Amino acid sequence: MTSKESQNYKMPPFETQKQVPPGVESIMDPIPDHGEETYVGNNLLKDKIVLITGGDSGIGKAVAIAMAREGAHVVIGYKDSIEDADALNTLAWIEKAGSKGALLPGDIRSEEFCRFMIEETVAEFGRIDILINNAAYQMSYDNLEDISALEWNKTFETNLSAMFYLVKHALAHIPTGGSIINTTSVNAYTPNPSLIPYAASKAAIQNFTASLAKKFLEEGKGIRVNAVAPGPVWTPLIPSTIPDHEGFGSKSPMGRPAQPAELAPVYVFLASPQASYISGATIPVTGGEITI
């Protein structure tokens, strides 16, 4: 588990930092903490095979590092060459943990690419024990009229359709005892009016999670499906998509955004045998924001 105390994290306001989506971590201030120096594994996921979308940075990177230190081998998907440096850094941390890793760049809006990710992971490792649907896209809009059909569809294709494609093609390769974890958001409960497509897609993910969990239980597949609902998290997506990111997270009850390292232990728990009686749940990690 991570040992760094939360009060050591920098509080907003942050410096103005202009980035283009999807953003890169190396020029962020402060640099996000993914648990590189703090996460200590306990062999909870020894020899498990993990596929994480959006694993190059942010929450996905923290989860990749944590799961590697728990003994898992980790395949990470990410979008394109803009994120190469971040992805290679994540791979280095996976390998430093003594685990095997692989990188699969491409656009998860394509069902064919999602199928390719599954096939490549299975070809390399034989199966997928843990599928983490984490990659996401968002943009801020002041006016509803400014949201184009293209933008709406891009958001849902990235955030929701990709999950469907990946689960659909992975299902035959996930053994009994496997785990699927989807990243939703506090926006599923308290939507931000400037993020209407994103918030709507995150609410749909929560419903998708519950539907899959119930279906797989009824079918006796032995595959658990859960979700994590983060509050504000300091990732490259923030300075690249939120104009007023200087105050990001300041309105949360804790007065700051989470660092990715603070999310990773929840994913590890849900993937581990310790969560064997949990399916269909959404675990909020919201800095005190009530989600009931």
State the helix-helix crossing angle for 264-271 and 58-69, rounded to 10 degrees.
50
* DSSP line for 144-175: GGG--HHHHHHHHIIIIIHHHHHHHHHGGGPP
The alpha carbon of 5 is separated from its chain's Cα centroid by a whole number of angstroms, namely: 22
* Sequence-distant (≥ 6) Cβ neighbours of residue 225 within 8 angstroms: 179, 180, 181, 182, 209, 212, 213, 216, 279, 280
Active site residue: 78, 165, 198, 267, which one? 198
- Asked, as a colleague might, if the bond just before 13 is cis with ω within 30 of 0, I would say yes
CB 172 within 8 A of CB 161: no
- Report CA Rg, the chain: 18
Which amino acid is present at 9? Y
Burial tier of 72 (Cβ tally within 10 Å: 0-12, 13-18, 19+): buried
Please name which of 283, 182, 207, 192 lies closest in space to residue 241, comparing C-alpha atoms. Answer: 192
Cβ neighbours of 215 (radius 10 Å): 12
Q: By CB neighbour count within 10 A (0-12 exposed, 13-18 middle, 19+ buried), where does 196 fall?
A: middle
Q: In the annotation, is 277 catalytic?
A: no
Q: Catalytic positions, please?
A: 198
